[in-house]
Amino acid sequence: MAAVFLAIGALGLVVLLLSLFVGELGDLAIGDVDADGPFSLPAIAALIGGVGFGGAGAVSLLPDDLPDTATALLAVAVGLAVAVPLAWGAVRMSRALRDMPTQETLTREHLVGAQGVVVSSVPGGGFGEVRLAVAGQPLKFAARSDLPLPPGTPVYVVEALSDTAVEVVSTAENPPHPLPGGTAS
């Protein structure tokens, strides 16, 4: 009898795996990802698996001298006692995953206003390299500035030229001043 309950539990696992990995394939709707009620596929899978594995556990713990009918009824009762909280948890977890807040995807517009430091010299009108703090992460970008900026100069992004290049200005108290040859003093 334990083998029957184990097979029911395994069927619950198969249903759960199908709902997770197959989901919806065109007209073959195996599970609605947005369904989070008591009849959603994850809830049904948890219910079937809980009855199967809970019942198998009960059969293995019950004495052998009980009649088969009593063993089966007790195993089903224990399986349901295990399955209902599992199904409730599956509903809650699928709802939590569906409603989980996420942050928007960063775009080049998010670079404007970022602060950082010059890593490789930025010649006046040419490109160098800066390290910027974007969404809490240090990232390197090609940088252009009207004034030449030596390494270590703190900078502020005023324009995103592309996804990998920015226009920066110095935020240093005494920014370098260009000399007649295009170099900084």
* Domain end among 73, 98, 123: 98
165 to 14, 157, 162, 176: CA distances (angstroms): 49, 10, 5, 22
In a domain, 26, yes or no: yes
pLDDT at 182 over 50: no
What pLDDT, on the 0 to 100 scale, is given for residue 64? 86
Give the model's pLDDT for residue 97: 77
Residue 173 phi, psi dihedral angles, 5° rounding: -65, -40
Residue 28 has pLDDT above 50, yes or no: no
The CATH number for 142's domain is: 2.40.50.140
Q: Whole domain around residue 27: which residue ranges?
A: 2-98
- My answer on whether 21 and 68 are in the same domain is yes
176 lies in some domain: no
Dihedral sign (CA 15, 16, 20, 23): positive
Alpha-carbon gap, residue 24 to 33, rounded angstroms: 8
Q: What is the mean pLDDT of residues 36-50?
A: 79
Same domain? For 151 and 90 the reply is no
Final residue of a structural domain among 43, 77, 98: 98
User: What does the pLDDT average to over 105-112?
Assistant: 85
Averaged confidence pLDDT in the chain: 83
The answer to the question of residue 33 being in a domain is: yes
